[in-house]
Amino acid sequence: MERLLVVRGDITRERTDAIVNAANCSLLGGGGVDGAIHRAAGPRLLDECRTLGGCRTGEAKITKGYDLAAKYVIHTPGPVWHGGAHGEDALLRSCYIESLKRASENGCATVAFPSISTGVYHFPLERAAAVAITAIRDYLAVHDEIEQVRMVCFDARTEAAYQHALDAAEGL
């Protein structure tokens, strides 16, 4: 089984042990993939999120998945793009690493990620894809407990960027 895959789809339909939410720091829901995950998981997700006291950018907190097929949702606020000289790359890398740590701690063997920060947070897509693929590969290299990570891309342009980053990394 390929341990890192790029696929096109709607992350709320994933049957992985955990799906990752590109959240905001309030953890109280928003638009984009965050709104879609809350709609699909049902109101109990927001009830649990209210108990968490928010989350800092680049960190990650886990909840149950409620009405989703996934057992857990891992919420991570990505960095807002401010030109690239404000630690954006390191913060984005941290989102992927910290999310995978929550997965490992909670016995998740399969994890699905959306393209964190490339929607309303405006992180440049190609740069985000390279950071994401490198972070996930680095984590998988030293964490056998994670069997598969799926990068779930909502549109063709996003899928192409992540597939290109994956192909480039595998050529190393």
Question: Least distance to ligand ADP from the beta carbon of 72, Å?
Answer: 16
Which candidate in 10, 34, 144, 167 is catalytic?
34
Sole binder of ligand ADP in the list 6, 11, 55, 68 (CB under 6 A): 11
**128-134, Cβ contacts within 8 angstroms, sequence gap of 24 or more:** 128/92, 128/161, 129/161, 129/162, 129/164, 129/165, 130/165, 130/168, 131/89, 131/92, 131/93, 131/96, 132/92, 132/96, 132/162, 132/165, 133/4, 133/162, 133/165, 133/166, 133/169, 134/93, 134/169
Query: 3-class SS at 73?
Result: strand
Q: Does 118 bind ligand ADP (CB under 6 A)?
A: yes
State yes or no: residue 114 binds ligand ADP (CB under 6 A).
Answer: yes
37 and 64 Cβ atoms separated by less than 8 Å = no
**65 near ligand ADP (CB under 6 A):** no
**Contact flag: residue 76 with ligand ADP (CB under 6 A):** no
Write down the least CB distance from residue 172 to ligand ADP, Å.
Answer: 25
CB of 170 to ligand ADP, least distance (A): 22
Q: Catalytic residue at 34?
A: yes
Binding site for ligand ADP (CB under 6 A): 10-12, 22, 32-34, 36, 78, 114-121, 152, 154-155, 158
Residues identified as active-site: 34
